[in-house]
Each structure stands twice: as C-alpha cells, then as structure tokens.
Amino acid sequence: MRALRSVRAWLRDAPAIPFLILGLIAFAAVFADFLAPHDPQFGKLSERFLPPFWIERGSTAHIFGTDHLGRDVLSRLIFGARVSMVVGFTAVIVSGVVGTTLGIVSGYLGSWADQIIMRVTDAWLALPALTFAIFLAAIVGPSEMNIVIILAAVYWTRYARIVRGEVLSLKEREFVRLAIVAGCSKWTIMRRHILPNVINSSIVLATLMLGIVIVTEASLSFLGVGVPPPKPAWGVMLADGKQGLMVGHWWLTVMPGTCIMLMVLAANLLGDWLRVKLDPQLRQL
Amino acid sequence: MSVVLEVDRVSKHFQARSGFFGGDRRVVRAVDNVSFSIEEGTSLGVVGESGCGKSTTAKLVLGLEDPSAGAIRFEGKDLVGMDAAGRRHYRKSVQAVFQDPYASLSPRMRIGAIIAEPLITNEKHSADTVRARVLEMLDLVGLPARSADLFPHEFSGGQRQRIAIARALALSPRLIVLDEPVSALDVSIRAQILNLLRDVQDRLGVSYLFIAHDLAAVAHMSQTIIVMYLGKIVESGEARALARTPMHPYTAALFSASLPDHPDDRREEIILSGEVPSPMNPPTGCHFHPRCPRAMARCAQEAPTLREIDGRRVACHLFD
C-alpha cells in the first residue's frame, strides 16, 4: 500500500502525452494478434492500393488502406509496433548494460583497462553510426536478432563515456575510500558503491537513446539491411511505399512515418522528464 | 603501554610532470622523512596548514598509498611485504573517519548496511549478530535504533559524523585515523563529536591518529602533537607543553593564531607574511625561513635536523 502510494506520488508530475503514446504502442505490440483486423503478411492482389476509408474508393474494411500487395496497412502498423518495441527495448537494454559495465570498469580500474576501453570508444564515436550499422549488417546478415546485436554494438559507447565520467568523480569520494579501508574488493566497490550512483544517468540516457535506436532500426529496415521484408517493420513499410509517393499513394509512407515520429517523440519527452526528475537527486547526493 | 603503530622515517614522493611534453619532471615531497609512534589507548595529533602532508600521512597509514621510503609497522610488523593474513588483520584493526560527512556515507545505502559493511566484509556473522552489533554501535554514538533503516540524506552533518564513527568502531579496531573529523561541522556540534570520540576512547581503549588544523581541538584530544610544515616535522612533543611553550617559530605562530582560552587573555600575535610555498619548489635550507620572523642567514642555506631538546623534538637552528 505504502509502495503504491509512493509510486503514485513519484508519477504525479509525469507527462501524459509520452506515457499515452508509448502505452498505446506497447498495447498494440502485446495484443497485436487480437487487435489486427487482417493478416499482416498476406493480402488480395485484387485489393491493391486501396486508400484510407475517408477517401473515395476506400472502405472501413481497410481503415488505413492497403499496399502494393493488397495487405492491410493498419494490421501491418500494429504488428510493426511489436518489431519496434522488441528491437528498440532489447537494443537499449543490451547496449545500456554493456556500456554501463564497461564505463564503470574503465573509470574505476583506470590504467590499461581504461586505456583500451576509451580508445575503442574514441574509434567507435569517430565512425558515423548509421554507416557503421550498415557495415555490420552487411557482415552478419539481416534478422531481428542481428539488428539488436548491431544496435547494441554501435551505441554502447555513449553509455560508457558518460558513466566513466561520473565514476571518475565518484571514486574520489570519501565513501569509496572508506570502503577500501573497510576491506571491500574492487568488484564489491563497483557493484555496491559505484553502480547504484550511476544507474540513474544510465536510465535517463537509455530513454533518450530509445528514440535514436528506433530511427536507426527503421533506417536499416528502409535500406533493406534490417528486419527481413515479409515481417511488417515500419522501416520496411516506408521502403515498400516509397514508389507510391509519386503516384499519390501517400498513405503507404505517411502512416508508418507518423508512427515512427510519434514513438521517437514520446521517447524523447519521457527522457527529458526523467532527466529533470532524477537529476536533482543526483546533485543532492 | 605497547606501541600500536610505528611510522619510521617514512617519505612519500609524487612525480609531477609539467612543461609542454611533460618533460619537465619534478618531485613533490608530500611527506619527507617523518617518524612517530602511537601507543595503545592514546591520541597523536598532527597539525599544520593545508598542503603540509597531513592527509598524505593519513593515506599512508591507511594503506591507500604506499610509502616511497621508510617503514610503517603495525604491532611490530612492516606493512609493506605483509602476507595476506597480516593484511586482513591490519584492515580489521585500522579504520578511518574522514572530513566531509556528506561524502563519507554511500548515498544509496541504509545506515544499518553502512555500519555493517566492514563487519560483513571481514568476518562471517549471522544476520541477527550483525543487526545486534549495528544497534549496539548506534547506541554507543548516541543515535536511536530506528536510524538503521534510514538513508544518509535524512541526517544532519553531526549525526552523519556519528554514523561514520559507529562504522569505524564496528570491527573494534585498535587504531582509528581521524582525518579532520570536525572541520566540516558547525562549531556548536564540534565539541559534541570531540567529546564522543574521547568518551569512546576511554571506554574501548582505541588509539587515534588525529589530524586537524584546529589547534584547540588537537590540544584537547591528544597526548602528543606533531607539527608539520611542507612535508616535514618541525616540532613534536607532549601536547600541553607544546601548546603552552612552543619552541619552533612556526609552532609559536600557529598557536598565537588560535583563540585564547579566555577573551580577556592578551597575548602577542605573530602574523606570518606570505603564503605556504609550493611543495613542488620548496625554499632552500629550512623550508620555513622565508616566512620566519626569526630567520638567520644560516637558515637559507642549511636545513635544520630534528633534534631532541627537553623531551621534545625540534627542527630549528635557534636551538643549536
């Protein structure tokens, strides 16, 4: 009961819009099988290029119209939410865990471990993220699993950088010195004293990275090195729909484009809120 | 009485690089040829201005830094080259309380866990024993038992310093290094903490290495005082005698700068000119001569050695 009340107090000034958008997308992703009116991967060729229902020729059977193979756009959007959610969240979590761990190790141990990790980070940051991701995708080949690995491999350095900086100032603090005096091992200090004090920054960064990761995933899918085609990813839908732009089939690109935009917007708004929410606590420490 | 800790001609030098390619190397002698010993159940005070090597001395004793030369002996055994069991014994026997009570408690841990940490790390106990010990320590430092379940930010500076002391005492150490334990506290709280420390010493017989720049506090707390200037001991001796009749001009200046016992007391004030010189580039001869009111020609050339005079050790040419 007390825990519930404190959670409610904590969320009191939470912004409604990003929670609403992300909640809606998450709901669609989880219950896609029940929500989608049609099969996202099969359509009737006789029903190709049907416009959304409010336009002439459109029907309420296909609310957002159909694509070049007669597949229902709404159903594909709903199943696409699942791809974005799964890939986005897994990639953010994997890169966050890897980056935070390496950042702590690099900052706390210093010497050669720091040198190696930071030189790798410098090299990583010098490469344009998308080009690097395409390069990796070309090596390992397209699949949802590989996309997660690629995104994590590209973006862990952001976490490592920020976390290392914080660890450098934390490890000079007296409570860390006292932990050494008390006889704690390096690993215990990193886990018990350093990690709880940098985790907030990692969480804030992860929320902000969610938007970037989703755009990168969509870009890779758009370029054909992401989620393999029959699967309804938003990026794949954009790629399929781009020929239609010139002949007036605007709904094929605008619909998935709007979805991507809304999700990135929600992620960024959430990140901004979390940063303000968690930062004063960090400063107070 | 047995000697708990013996510091024998210990030096700590740091390499400082400057210049465009870091080619200009200089040696900072943070601690230079320092010797002292602490007896069981007594306090040794170390005073000096900032940058004199007090805190480096504390780090050396705590094993956070290794000495460049000399030996630190605990119960007669040298710290460097001690085997693992000896190290563990030393870790358990020597604890610390630091200056800033806001930085010395891990902000994400509950007080109970903070106090229990040295205990859990070094010895195997059941959860009940640990809890009982934590409550006992809280009681010893005058905090209520419910403090154990709170977080550090719920306490004031003085209370936090009490928690830090409770943590330091949890393993029943033989020596506690107090590195400026009251400097960050309000004047009204200082006396309370100092009295608590004395009370604890009377009850448990623990020894203190008390480092401070507050002379009144050091004189109040310690049996023996060491005065340091730029990494060297300039004077050491029995606390009350040293405070009443300082021999070295630097000690005299330090004590004249502290407030007298009674507001009507008049005494000669010695005002030192200039700043503490950079330890990277200390003055020749006696390090103190550029600021010394009684400097002689000889002081600029020849460094005085620490010699025994009337049961005290003084490094000054005035007493040759």
The pLDDT assigned to A201 comes to 86
pLDDT at A100 over 90: yes
**Tokens in use for A16?**
């409604």
**DSSP per residue, B49-62:** -TTSSHHHHHHHHH
Q: Does residue A194 belong to the interface with chain B, where contact is any CB pair within 8 Å?
A: no
The pLDDT assigned to B261 comes to 63
Average pLDDT over chain A reads: 84
pLDDT at B18 over 70: no
Which of A31-35, A98-102, B221-225 is predicted with the least confidence, judged by mean pLDDT?
A: A31-35
The pLDDT assigned to A285 comes to 35
Q: Where are the domains of chain B?
A: 42-69+82-319
Q: Does residue A282 belong to the interface with chain B, where contact is any CB pair within 8 Å?
A: no
Q: What is the pLDDT of residues A113-122, one digit of tens each?
A: 899 999 999 9
Q: Does residue B164 belong to the interface with chain A, where contact is any CB pair within 8 Å?
A: yes
The pLDDT assigned to A282 comes to 45
- Strands B207-211 and B175-179 turn out to be parallel
B242, B251 Cβ separation under 8 angstroms: yes
Q: In the A/B pair of chains, how many CB contacts fall below 8 A?
A: 59
The pLDDT assigned to A85 comes to 86
- Strands B24-39 and B307-309 turn out to be unpaired
The pLDDT assigned to A92 comes to 92
Q: Does residue A243 belong to the interface with chain B, where contact is any CB pair within 8 Å?
A: no
Q: Does residue B64 belong to the interface with chain A, where contact is any CB pair within 8 Å?
A: yes
pLDDT at A1 over 80: no
CA A261 to CA A269: how far, in whole Å?
12
For A72, residues 6+ apart whose C-beta sits below 8 A from its C-beta are A36, A37, A38, A39, A40, A43, A62, A64, A66
A79, A40 Cβ separation under 8 angstroms: yes
Helix (H, G, I), strand (E, B) or coil at B180: coil
**CA nearest to B142, candidates B175, B165, B171:** B165
CA B242 to CA B151: how far, in whole Å?
42
Calculate ∠ Cα A258-A259-A262, nearest 5°: 80
Interval A179-204 mean pLDDT: 88
pLDDT at A279 over 70: no
For B7, residues 6+ apart whose C-beta sits below 8 A from its C-beta are B34, B35, B36, B37, B57, B60, B61, B70, B72, B73
B16, B281 Cβ separation under 8 angstroms: no
- For residue B30, how many other CB atoms are within 10 A of its CB? 23
The pLDDT assigned to B279 comes to 75
Q: What is the pLDDT of residues A232-277, one digit of tens each?
A: 888 888 888 888 888 888 888 888 889 989 988 998 888 888 877 7
Interval A133-141 mean pLDDT: 86
The beta strand positions in chain B, using DSSP E, are: 3-18, 24-39, 43-47, 69-74, 77-78, 94-97, 175-179, 207-211, 224-229, 232-238, 307-309, 312-314
Of A174, A193, A284, Cβ closest to residue B153: A284
Greater confidence (B12 vs A70) lies with B12
Query: Which ipTM did the prediction report?
Result: 0.82
**Tokens in use for A100?**
């935070």
The pLDDT assigned to B263 comes to 65
**CA nearest to A198, candidates A77, A76, A84, A102:** A102
Residue of A174, A187, A193 best to disrupt the B interface, most CBs of B under 10 A: A174
Backbone angles phi and psi of B12, in degrees to 5: -130, 115
Greater confidence (A58 vs B4) lies with B4
Reported confidence tier of residue B189, pLDDT bands at 50, 70, 90? confident
Reported confidence tier of residue A284, pLDDT bands at 50, 70, 90? very low
Which chain B residue lies closest to A183 (C-alpha atoms)? B91
Greater confidence (B237 vs A276) lies with B237
CB contact under 8 A, A175 and B122: no
A-chain residues near B105 (CB < 8 A): 175
Residue of A170, A178, A200, A283 best to disrupt the B interface, most CBs of B under 10 A: A178
Q: What angle do the packed helices A234-241 and A251-284 form, to 10 degrees?
A: 150
- Strands B69-74 and B77-78 turn out to be antiparallel
Q: Does residue A283 belong to the interface with chain B, where contact is any CB pair within 8 Å?
A: no
The pLDDT assigned to A283 comes to 43
CA B255 to CA B243: how far, in whole Å?
7
Q: Which amino acid is at B278?
A: S
Give me the CATH topology for the region B42-69+82-319. Rossmann fold (3.40.50)
Reported confidence tier of residue A104, pLDDT bands at 50, 70, 90? very high
Expressed in percent and rounded to 5, the helix, strand and coil fractions of chain A are 75, 0, 25
Tell me the percentage of chain B whose pLDDT exceeds 70: 93
Matching residue, tokens 């506090």: B217
Matching residue, tokens 């069981």: B40
Q: Could you say which of 1.20.58.760, 1.20.1330.10, 1.10.3720.10, 3.10.180.10 is the CATH number of the domain covering A15-35+46-284?
A: 1.10.3720.10
The pLDDT assigned to A94 comes to 94
